Structure 1
Amino acid sequence: MADLRKLAEFGRRVYTRLFPHLDVERALPDLIRQEARARGRPAVLSVAEAVAAQGKRLVPWAMLYDLPVGSEPDTYQVCESVYRFGPGGEGGPPPAHCPFPHPQPTNVLCLFGFWGLSCELEQPPTGDRDPATVVTETDPPASVLLAAGSDLEPEITVRHVSALRAALGAAAVASPTIDSSTALAHALAGESMDVAYLYCHCGYRQTSDREPPSSYLVFGGGHVDPLDVDAWTYAPWPSRHWATRRPLVVLNGCHTVDVTSGTLGNFVEAFVRRAGAAGMIGTEVAVEQGLASLFMESFLARFMRGATAGDALRRARWDLVARGNVTGLAYTPYCLAGLRIRPARLPAQDVVERTEP
């Protein structure tokens, strides 16, 4: 509870910095909740790329807290939502908005105050093409390519792979041996997966005090830099890589370092703009391998069965909240919230046959 209180204070400080105009600060939460009540589903918030004089600016959008609170977290009144959906609660699917009245207008700790829990967020990369709404229009069997780094904790990795195969089907999860950047390049060469899941350590290096840090993925004894991904688009990948089946790339690490938008953004540009992915999901802070595994098991179970990326991410965050953890708020979707594996199919009773008069 203490961590949740502190996170609310942090999220509110960021919120007030982003929206210094009082009218906007007060109007946004009302609009978000009005949208959820009117439509019976969470509001979708689309985030444009923020650029500052120093370069891209990282904003932890999912951690924003839009309810007014002061600087003493210990004084916050706890909303019933924390007990209902937190550890020891009844659980179940979270509603579109908080179903409980707040005891006072300020200093309330409510799970629905966090944007990552109350809304479906999307941060589609800019580029020269429209953001993808589906991985592919065709209907091959759904598939995940799980590229795991060999230096991860092996027992957790084995359990994670087994859990994914049990949930999605053994044939749906390919897990080749990845012990070098060359092996990863060849694993990602074809159009055989709907999710390219890179489960590994991530680090960064800084070549100059004036340059943002450059991030890299760790596979065996080799490092994979965004420049490497760019080089793969020339060889060994074909010239029109992922042309018809554009997977969602997931970067999930057990010790992902605190990255800036300059570092994570470089991988977004490399995989989405250059390699042709439909989008990317990455972490913004350090995450522990076990929690990272649980979160992705929850997300992939829903996404691979047809849920949108936004809905699957929001529900996976709530799943971790039920375990007493808010790590899910650290995952950022660089894609449309409505991205799906396949186009949504209308139920037979909803299909209207048109005939000539």
Structure 2
Amino acid sequence: MATVNRDLLQQVLQDLIDDENLRQLFFTDKASALSRYSLNPSEERWFSRINSMADLEKEAKRFEITLKSGSPKEVTPLPGADTGDSAGRLVNTGFASFNQPQTPLDYHVPLNTNQDYYFWLEVGELIAGAIDELPQPLPPLPPNARLQVVLFPFASEFALTGEEYIGELKQEEDGAVRVSRPATRPRALLGKPIMRQRLFFLVHAPPRPGAHRLRCNIYYQQLLIQSHLVTMQVAVNPQPTERALSTVVDYTLSHTLDIHNFAEMESTKLSLMLNDNGNGSHGFRFFGEGDFQSNATLSETALQDLIEQTRQALRMTAWGDDQPYNPKKNPNQVYRYQKGKITLSQLRADLIRLARNGYRFYDTLITQLAGDKLKARQLRQMMLNTGQVQIATKQAANQYVPAALFYDYRLDANLGEADYELCPTFVDAITNKKPLAETPCFHGNCPTQSEDKPLEERLRMICPSGFWGFRHNLGMPLSIASAPDAPSSIPCPGAPEFTVGAYQGFQERAEHEKRLQALQNGLVWHYASSRDDTLKELNQTKPHVVYFYCHGGVANNVPFILVGKEGERGITRDNLDAFDIFWEEPRPLVFINGCHTTALEPEQAINLVSGFVESAYAAGVIGTEITIFEPIAVAFAEEFFARFVTQRQPVGEAIRGARLKMLEAANPLGLVYIPYVMPGLKLG
């Protein structure tokens, strides 16, 4: 994450105070006002908190900038900007000694080895002694909103004491954020006012000197909105140093403090954050309903092996070969789910393969849940019923987990294929054309999983409702430093506008386009049949949905999508900036439905996906785990858009519905789609 030059911030603030013309420009067009300064993304984001003259004066005071006699002239803030007191909602963190918990420790001095301390968090004005490198404000929250603050340890580093790892904050009627449920209650502070202002967590420094870490996450309705990485130097004989204690915000859903995003959010069943631990391992941080909290660690090699095994199972299902799609090299890679050629025996074999891999991935993960078997049982029980699940991830390709393929019904993965049996309720539903969403299996009550049945029988039963992608509404919004907030809705009171770029050689293209245009009366259809026209339409239109029905691939390690005719050039991430493609309002959902792509899997595609979010300001992107074929693309997109556009379902629900619709036709490949988007995003 980019560091912040405080001297540069102070200079810009001084200029804003002294120069009325610059100040007027700042409050009407921030980007133009700041363009004269060489600010990095973190510094640019810092200025997003200043939306009124009161905010500017507060920040100037913090930097000890002397105001001229008479206050600067008040100006009209940015249209739609939050004019609340963001400076009064700063998240402050720090450490205190066990014996003097009310006094923040000097962040220049390391902590002692093998000693108890209090880690603390308080929301309000900037606190002297706070260790945050760039204090971030909380968003203005709905009235009486409650936030859970959860502390997670790193393996073999700082230890948490007992069950004191969750505290709760509440926004009061006066706008102040106060403690509603303490985590730890220091004896010296019992009954004192500071206990209503500051959360305390008792932690124990490790005996080993060096740099150690904690992670502090803030959740709203189980949805991760901020993640703070806390780094501490620990020493035997601590001596002052440059910065021994520090906190950096490395994941956030809110940069610009839009209250509407949070007021419209639906409750989340589980948030799963994946982050690189920096030592060749990855940490998984779980937080869910009923204050479920746990964490797990996997080595980078183990995680990548599990992802590749899962992806190989998907490839085998799609084209009968576990290697990436390359028909020029292997002409036997042919789509296996052609209409009229699907058999129940084929579906059975593929579900067995997918379930084995999905269960092993899930089992490997849950057995690492802080060494706690009870946590694993609680997670399985909590996730039985359908709910919204957030996979919190950052831009890096290795910050990724294929949660749709998790299979959490108990399974003996070592049986022979002939020993498994498909769930009779599921078989009856697809045989007799019954909606899967109405069966008990997809409501947490699969008959094959009843505790009344012998364990040996349950271990050989396979039901698709065991896959998270068929049972839950998943979303994987990216957190990118210079990108805007991930919105919860796309304003669209009437018929939506589509901007479409299509590859012209697809056999089903024309009929597919007709069916999409008929989704809703009055739907506006901006259509491009070439690369140049596509880039022109992306630049000139204001769509609610951008739909690429395209080819794709990678050339010289640069991912691209291909529209128009064979032989045309591709569209790459840098084209978004070069052709000035930027959607301020509305911010559309981008759907990349790439058929017959080669070598374009998530590790490569993330560069293009993040470009649409970071550079073009898309609300989110839908992509795929592996390459797909026209029948998948057509069936999935038409069902998804019918739900998202016509029925106005949130993205996560619409994706799950489209997956189940394909599964009703005995096709499990709806699981290939990846939603890099808030699961609750919908047309407003």
Contact persistence 1:122–1:334 (CA under 8 A): yes
Match for residue 520 of structure 2?
168
- Going from structure 1 to structure 2, the CA distance change for 1:80 and 1:68 (only over 3 Å counts) comes to same
The answer to whether the 8 A contact 1:43-1:120 is kept is yes
Q: Return the alpha-carbon distance in structure 1 between the equivalents of residues 480 and 611 of structure 2.
A: 12
The answer to whether the 8 A contact 1:256-1:283 is kept is no
Corresponding residue number in structure 2 for 1:106: 459
Say whether 1:9 aligns with 2:362: no
- Cα–Cα, structure 1 residues 81 and 227, in superposed 2: closer, same or farther, change >3 Å? farther
- CA 1:328/1:204 → structure 2, altered by over 3 Å: closer, same or farther? same
Structure 1 residue 158: Cα displacement: 0.9
Alignment match of 1:116 (pick from 461, 469, 476): 469
Q: Does 1:251 align with 2:592?
A: yes
Opposite residue 421 of structure 2, the aligned amino acid is Q
> Partner amino acid for 2:403?
W
Shift of 1:257: 3.6
Aligned to 2:378: 27
Q: 1-side partners of 2:445 and 2:618: how far apart? A: 38
Aligned to 1:210: none
Q: How does 1:292-311 map to 2 (within 5 A)?
A: 292-305=633-646, 306-311=648-653
- Residue 89 of structure 1 deviates from its aligned partner by 3.8
Counterpart residue number, 2:560: 216
Cα separation, 2, equivalents of 1:50 and 1:61: 15
Pick from 336, 339, 344: which aligns with 2:681?
A: 339
- Which residue number corresponds to residue 263 of structure 1? 604
Map 1:222-237 onto structure 2 (within 5 A): 222-232=569-579, 235=580, 237=581
1:80 deviation in Å? 3.0
Asked whether the 8 Å contact 1:61–1:115 carries over to 2, the reply is yes
In structure 2, which of residues 526, 529, 534 is the aligned counterpart of residue 178 of structure 1?
529
Instruction: Name the residue aligned to 1:197.
Output: 547
Displacement of 1:279 in angstroms is 0.5
CA contact (8 A) 1:62 1:121 kept: yes
Task: Report how far residue 172 of structure 1 moved.
Answer: 1.3
Distance 1:331 1:274, change over 3 A: same
Question: What one-letter code is carried by the residue in structure 1 that aligns with 2:427?
Answer: Y
Q: Partners in 2 of 1:329 and 1:304 — Cα distance?
A: 21
Shift of 1:173: 5.0
Contact 2:519-2:645 at 8 Å conserved across structures: no
Query: Structure 1 residues 188 and 250 mapped into 2: Cα distance closer, same or farther (>3 Å)?
Result: same
Question: What's the C-alpha RMSD, in Å, of the aligned pairs?
Answer: 2.3
Q: Check conservation: 1:230, 1:270, Cα contact below 8 A.
A: no
Residue type at the aligned position of 1:135: I
User: Secondary structure at the residue paired with 1:312?
Assistant: helix
> Following the alignment from structure 1 to structure 2, what is the Cα–Cα distance between the partners of residues 247 and 272?
10
Assess if the C-alpha contact under 8 Å between 2:561 and 2:570 holds in 1: yes
> 490, 493, 496: which is aligned to 1:139?
493
Cα distance, 1:191–1:134 mapped onto 2, change above 3 Å: farther
Given the alignment, which residue of 414, 417, 424 partners 1:71?
Answer: 414
Corresponding position: 1:45 with 2:396: no
Give the TM-score normalised by structure 1.
0.81
Name the aligned partner's letter for residue 225 of structure 1.
Answer: T
Question: Do 2:395 and 2:610's aligned partners in 1 also have CA atoms closer than 8 Å?
Answer: no
Hey, what's the Cα distance between the residues in 2 that align with 1:7 and 1:144?
A: 35
Contact 1:271–1:277 (8 Å) recurs in 2: yes
1:160/1:60 CA distance change after superposition, 3 Å: same
1:323 pairs with one of 641, 646, 665 = 665
Q: CA deviation at 1:214?
A: 2.9
Contact 1:309 1:336 in 2 (8 A): yes
How far did residue 107 of structure 1 move? 2.7
Deviation digits for residues 121-151 of structure 1, max 9, x if unmatched? Answer: 0101103432111112x53421222221123
Does residue 151 of structure 1 match 2:505? yes
Aligned to 1:39: none
Summarize the Cα distance change of 1:75–1:319 in structure 2 as closer, same or farther, 3 Å threshold: same
CA contact (8 A) 2:410 2:459 kept: yes
2:401 alignment partner AA = V
CA–CA separation in structure 2 for the residues paired with 1:7 and 1:262? 21
Partner of 2:629: 288
For each residue in 1:92-116, what CA deviation from the matched residue of structure 2 results, as whole angstroms up to 9, or x when unmatched? 6446524332243423201210000
SS of the residue 1:86 aligns to: helix
Instruction: Summarize deviations over 1:205-257 as a string: whole Å, max 9, x none.
Output: 3x3xxxxx43211123111112222333xx3x4xxx21120110000022134
Select the structure that is richer in helix.
1
- Counterpart contact for 1:200–1:253, Cα < 8 Å: yes
Between 1:159-168 and 1:192-201, the stretch displaced more is: 159-168
TM-score by length of 2: 0.44
Q: Which residue of 1 aligns with 2:175?
A: none
Q: Distance in 2 between matches of 1:326 and 1:140?
A: 34
State the secondary structure of the residue aligned to 1:337: coil
How far apart, CA to CA, are the structure 1 residues paired with 2:539 and 2:425? 46
Q: Could you tell me whether the CA contact under 8 Å between 2:593 and 2:624 is conserved in 1? A: yes
**Partner residue in 2 for 1:90:** 434
Change in 2 beyond 3 A, CA 1:119/1:274: same
SS for the counterpart of 2:512 is helix
Please tell me whether the aligned partners of residues 543 and 588 of structure 2 are also in contact (alpha carbons under 8 angstroms): yes
Identity %: 28
Distance (whole Å) between structure 1 residues aligned to residue 485 and residue 431 of structure 2: 41
Post-superposition CA distance 1:280-313 (Å, at most 9, x none): 1001112111221111000001100211101110
Distance (Å, rounded) in 2 between the aligned partners of 1:61 and 1:50? 15
Partner of residue 18, structure 1: 365
The match for 2:655 among 298, 304, 313 is 313
The structure with the larger Rg is 2
Conservation of the 8 A alpha-carbon contact between 1:81 and 1:98: no
**CA distance in structure 2 between the aligned counterparts of 1:99 and 1:289, rounded to whole angstroms:** 34
